[in-house]
Amino acid sequence: MSKIYQVTGIGLNEKSLQLQETIFHNANGYIGVRGTLEEGVPADFDTMRGMYINGFYDIAPMKQAEKLCNLVEDKESMLNVADTQTIEVSFDGQKFSMADDADCRYVRTLDMEKGITRREVDWSNKEGKQLHFNITRMASFEERSLFTIDYCFQSIDFSGTVEIHSRHLGLVRNYFNPNDPRLAGESHNHLKKEDVHICESGACLVSSTIESHLKVASAVANIVTVNQKRQPSEVVTYDETAHAMDVSYRFDIRPGDEVRIIKYSIFTDSIREEDCRNVADEKLSKVVGQGIASYYKKQQEYLKEFWNNSSMEIVGDGDLNESLCFNMYQLLQSAGYDGYSSIAAKGLSGEGYEGHYFWDTEMFMVPYFAMTNPAIARKLLEYRYKTLGKAKENAALLGHKKGALYPWRTITGRECSGYYPSGTAQYHIDGDIAYAVILYYKTSGDWEFIKEMGLKILLETNRLWLDVGNYYKDRFVINCVTGPDEYTCIVNNNYYTNASAKYSMQWCLKFIQRLAEEKDAYQQFVKENDLTEEEIQAMKEAEEKMYLPYDETLGINPQDDSFLQKPIWDLEHTPQEEFPLLLHYHPLHLYRYQVCKQADTVLAHYLFPDYQDKETEENSFRYYEKITTHDSSLSTCVFSIMASRLGLKDKAYYYFGDSAKMDLLNTHKNSKDGIHAANMGGSYMAIVNGFAGLRAEEETLFLAPSIPEKWQGYHFRVRYHGSLLEICVNKETCSVELLEGEAVSLCIYGQEYTMDAGSRKAELSYQEN
């Protein structure tokens, strides 16, 4: 199956270009580069020209109207760290610009097997002379600090003088939009000049952040050839005020001549490197010495292994396959890999939500990596472990005597949410992170991770639950919190929150019991964490007596204690131009109605199926689907999964719909600000956990596949306890094959199987739910 996405066009269109800046961005989990044009765009175009480092930030003010105790008054923002993209080429004085040739034809390609983007342009200058451009970009998975531009052009019938300027800007600003709450509302100067260093390989500019006092180094080298013969640079200039470098070349070409500019950019930062400038210099020398061909080869090898683990195909639906490949590749590009970072809501593709990490990572992206590339899932959870201390500080700021409360949105672990009703009050983030820890353990069997990090996360978050909750009428209740639905805030006993707390406590107790079998390790854990028997018993009692709201009249789990008391919002007669509601109605107005931005109780039913019966799940599903707007991109995939579980095949396919194509089709009209990373994970889950009915438990992998009427079949690969499995489903059979690894216990349609070296494949007849 081809893993190539292409767009063709004629001329330069502002709206198309805005979307393409996101779709054709390059990233590798450390650096991200927007797919902007090397030559730039007309001054009146709205463009987000950005180069980012995952986890690199500065601090910006976030003024509160009233100075109440411990409200957040500043925030961390992911920075645009430099601009090494600019390459300007002139032909007899006329700059190459797609805006100057309305008839120029272009093809933009994302090759997900080679790990590159390519832009090909047929362009004519004002004299009608033609040139062909072929520009390839790569963010290397082999050397994460490396971004390359392989800029080639050939004269078709042009003869004359070529002038090239390769620019390197060390002081840049972030994009802002005061009319969109999902973007920074004002522009701040975050960087100042620190150092410049010209070495044999190229030049390195070092900048530092104004408030966070971090350093970033960007080192650049240019290799220019004409017909494979290297050209010397004519002028190298440094503008001290702008902290900018310009390397220029000038020569003559004739028809048939081929010019190639290879621009190597290295990025390093002081979060990860003590001396980021010297490290950048050393890495630049290394990559230039090895050459770009070497890194192209290693990029392809890395992705071959990635696709071997992540293979997925829908038989007979090429457009959907294209979207699914795109989504999985974007998740890989977005994922922090070193424990210093996680996955921002927009990955590294743009500045929507300012590069913050939310619950999205643990609930919609860790599941994908846990099932395909568990080493990445572990690193994402390691980031949460490293920020556990700050989560404890955050809990103390909110008045809690014990425990850890992870911030709703953050980069380093500090709370960056200025509006606490739909931000800090979402205490369920503690349950979300705990869920991801447990899921990773179930799929990987990595007990060492639980002992080293996972159990500490669960213990501190459960201490928070014990502190925030209390007993009322012999039930453990949790008041004044907000669930996943941000149209309903500051409520008592949000069903999702209470269920996630119960689940976390249940597994924390289970892990403690298992650790107790390792006497020395248990004693050390007890000592390091001041764990007492009284605390264990308190957790056990709270788990057993956790209040989970239930309405006998409707036979549903109410979203919270007061939800059913409110009038129902008339979604049917709400004009389409008033969606999303959050941009058109005051929050308090929304809070007074039964209207949901996204799956809340329905999500709890998917995650915690043992806490209610199937009849309650179906009643609740049908109730909440009538009042859910799906204004959040995280919603329809959850409804699809639950519809699959309930045997509602048509609804499952309806809610799956175009969710997998959200960014390629720009269905939410805001993909220009960056990808919807969590939705990408959610569309994967809708297939694997929804249609295929996959559920990982400690010792057994469960499957109950169904197939949408419009599909001929589907197959995908997953990792379970280190073994690689391939699941194939069509309208006649369902098969599971052990491709590599140790024995695996399966349960398919309720029948138990053991896959091992002697029995590597199980095949049985397809069954309707």
Residues present in the chain in total: 769
Question: Of 486, 543, 617, 618, which is the active-site residue?
Answer: 486
Q: Three-class SS of residue 625?
A: helix
Q: Are 499 and 611 in contact (CB under 8 A)?
A: yes
Q: Are 233 and 223 in contact (CB under 8 A)?
A: no
Token match 């970072």: residue? Answer: 341
**What letters, b where the CB count within 10 A reaches 16 and e where it falls short, cover 371-397?**
bbbbebbbbbbbbbbebbebbbbbbee
In whole angstroms, give the CA distance from residue 40 to residue 335: 28
Contacts of 248 (CB under 8 A, 6+ apart): 163, 164, 165, 166, 233, 234, 235, 236, 237
Q: Are 701 and 720 in contact (CB under 8 A)?
A: yes
Q: Are 458 and 451 in contact (CB under 8 A)?
A: no
User: Active-site residue 535, yes or no?
Assistant: no
Q: Are 5 and 112 in contact (CB under 8 A)?
A: yes
Token match 């990029």: residue? Answer: 299
What's the DSSP call for residue 84? Answer: -
In whole angstroms, give the CA distance from residue 177 to residue 620: 39
In whole angstroms, give the CA distance from residue 503 to residue 422: 23
User: Which of left, alpha, beta for 750 (phi over 0: left; psi -120 to 50: alpha)?
Assistant: left
In whole angstroms, give the CA distance from residue 560 to residue 549: 7
Token match 């997925």: residue? Answer: 312
Q: Three-class SS of residue 233?
A: coil
Identify the CA nearest to 79 among candidates 268, 319, 337, 354: 354
Identify the CA nearest to 635 among candidates 563, 581, 692, 706: 581
Distances (CA, A) of 295 to 12, 289, 438: 31, 11, 37
Which active-site residues does the annotation give? 486
